[in-house]
Amino acid sequence: MSLAARVTTLIVAVLAVVGGVIFVVAHYLLGGPPTVDFAAATSGQVNVTMQTDASSDPAVVLDHPTWVSYFIKSPASGSWVHTTLFQVPAHTRVNVTIYGYDGSTPVRNQVWGQVTGTTSGVADYGGKPVKTVNGWNGPYLIQHTFAIPSLNLSVPVEAGPATCTTGPCTNNQHSTTTFSFMTPAQPGAYRWQCFVPCGLSYLDGNGGPMQTIGYMTGNMQVVS
Amino acid sequence: MPAADGTAADGTGRPEPNHGLRIFLLWLPVALVADLLIWFVWGPHLPPGAMSTSAATQQSAIKIMSVMAAPVMALVLVYGAYALVVWRHREGDDEDGPPIHGNTRVSVTWIGVTSVIVLSLAVFGTVELAGPAGAGAGEGNTPIWRPSGGTPLQVQVIGQQWRWTYRYPQFGGFETTSLMLPVGENVQFNVTSLDVIHSFWAYQLGVKADANPGVNNVAYTKPEHTGQVQVRCAELCGLWHADMTTAGQVVSLSAFNTWTASTRAQLAALTRNLPPYTLTYDANAVAQLGKVFQKAGLNGAGGGFYGSQYPVQP
């Protein structure tokens, strides 16, 4: 092999390795979903608005638009952000509103049909307080849950009419689940997740969006 | 090295000392001190403590095995140190060492002693596993070793990504995220999973049992002290495996009875929604259990579970 060919091979190999490192860092380490900041609390409370969708606009969600997903409304811009990461102040009341655009999927374990950890002990479905929902037999049905296990917070999200299947949706045909909870005094990352196995086409619904931050699980970052 | 004629290698002509006796005299106090430290100082703090019969059994087994292993380790270290000091290379000594031949007596002693230690520990370990009803390990659906006495408290442990729940069939079958146990009572854990493989690890109780979907894995223990129990998942089970932890409590029998009565009443509405108590649960049975889903003919993506007909893996 000539000297020029050997030098060229070496340069290509170095570039390939460097390119691979840059791709891994950019795609996996720095390329996560953004964090929506609710840290600017007014009068000791913040309002967090989310929506759930059966799938997403491929122009908005590039990675897995066919996956079921949460969106969070940015308090700064008012636009829907495809993320499950949000930041709230410590020891603050968080008022959560979830617009349910997805249809019904049963909880695998009916334990997650019970509301726990909210300030009032219940959640509101369209203004009606509910404590325990029978996700298998109604009258209310469930599509997902919003749960922060370390705070013992667990709220089943009411199923929606599924008239809009490509998020972020903006029409008014959705279920509305509201509840409030207090953030802990201790700053840190608090994992939240959906307990309904809703990963379509994955074995027993466990894979895909259930295992990926930005879809059906994420972190609530509590800051002091 | 000693010279071939039996005199010391330093050229003084002195007779070769009894190295075996020297090593033994050095090893004896080291081994004795190590064993005493292990038994009296380190032993009481060895994992997993002594909160339950199974935990105490594990701790004592580790203590005994450590006490037996320490002299062996001490002998290796003392011999090594002795060789480094006594048989080190000396200035001006460029002579080759004498040829080494096998020493039958040393070989037989070494092999005999270590064989006795290993085999006796194997028997001891087996007896320790059998004696205290499986020593807190999962014994499968048909346990060989069971605690004596009456019917133990039944606690069903249900793993799901990523949280543990506990069902108490002897108290109406309520299910809760809290693990509460009475002190001084035999407990039978029936461990299962609703999705992937987990492992129920109640550290302070010395209980560890795999949680497999469709399988009931039985483990026994008897809490002997009140206090807090850390429960972890010991089987890599997905994104939030490391966060699959809960805190349990061992309380007095009266406090446990008060808790079960209040929790049973508090969760009555939820308990009515639960499926009948069974030792395992079929992830695909919800469509049959739920009238809504039966009526709508839903399954798969329409509202039931995405069962084994969807073998796509992430």
CATH number at residue A123: 2.60.40.420
Q: Are residues A1 and A92 in the same domain?
A: no
Of all residues in chain B, the one with the smallest CA distance to A113 is B270
Of all residues in chain B, the one with the smallest CA distance to A107 is B286
From chain B, the residues in CB contact with A131 under 8 A are: 269
User: CA-to-CA distance for B12 and A85, rounded, in angstroms?
Assistant: 80
Q: Are residues A17 and A72 in the same domain?
A: no
Band of pLDDT at residue A31, cut at 50, 70 and 90: confident
Structure tokens at B277: 């108590």
Q: Does B197 lie at the interface with A, CB-CB under 8 angstroms?
A: no
Q: Does B301 lie at the interface with A, CB-CB under 8 angstroms?
A: yes
Contact A189, A215 (CB under 8 A): no
Q: What does the pLDDT read at residue A104? A: 81
User: CA-to-CA distance for A15 and B268, rounded, in angstroms?
Assistant: 65
Contact B167, B159 (CB under 8 A): no
Q: Are residues A122 and A26 in the same domain?
A: no
Quick check: A62 pLDDT over 90? Answer: no
Q: Would the CB atoms of B293 and A136 count as touching at under 8 Å?
A: yes
Q: Are residues A23 and A107 in the same domain?
A: no
Hey, where are the domains in chain B? 19-91+106-131, 154-279, 282-314
Distant-in-sequence, close-in-space partners of A224: CB < 8 Å, separation ≥ 6: A89, A90, A187
The series of mean pLDDT values per 10 residues for chain B, 314 residues long, is: 54 78 96 97 92 92 92 95 91 82 88 91 84 80 86 95 95 95 96 93 95 93 96 95 94 97 95 90 71 61 47 45
Q: What does the pLDDT read at residue B132? A: 73
**Is the pTM value of this prediction over 0.80?**
yes
Q: What does the pLDDT read at residue A37? A: 93
Q: Domain count for chain A, please give it.
A: 2
Q: What range defines the domain where residue A190 resides?
A: 35-223
Q: Which of B194, B286, B310 sits opposite A136 (nearest CB)?
A: B286
In CATH terms, the superfamily for domain B154-279 is: Cupredoxins -  blue copper proteins (2.60.40.420)
The SS3 call for residue A204 is helix
**Distance from the B291 Cα atom to the nearest Cα atom in chain A, whole angstroms:** 5
**Closest CA relative to residue A92, chosen from A37, A43, A49:** A43
**Distance from the B311 Cα atom to the nearest Cα atom in chain A, whole angstroms:** 5
Average pLDDT, chain A: 91
Q: Which of B243, B303, B305 sits opposite A191 (nearest CB)?
A: B243
Of all residues in chain B, the one with the smallest CA distance to A201 is B310
Q: Are residues A24 and A48 in the same domain?
A: no
CA B29 to chain centre: 32
Quick check: A151 pLDDT over 60? Answer: yes
Q: Are residues A44 and A149 in the same domain?
A: yes
The SS3 call for residue A151 is helix
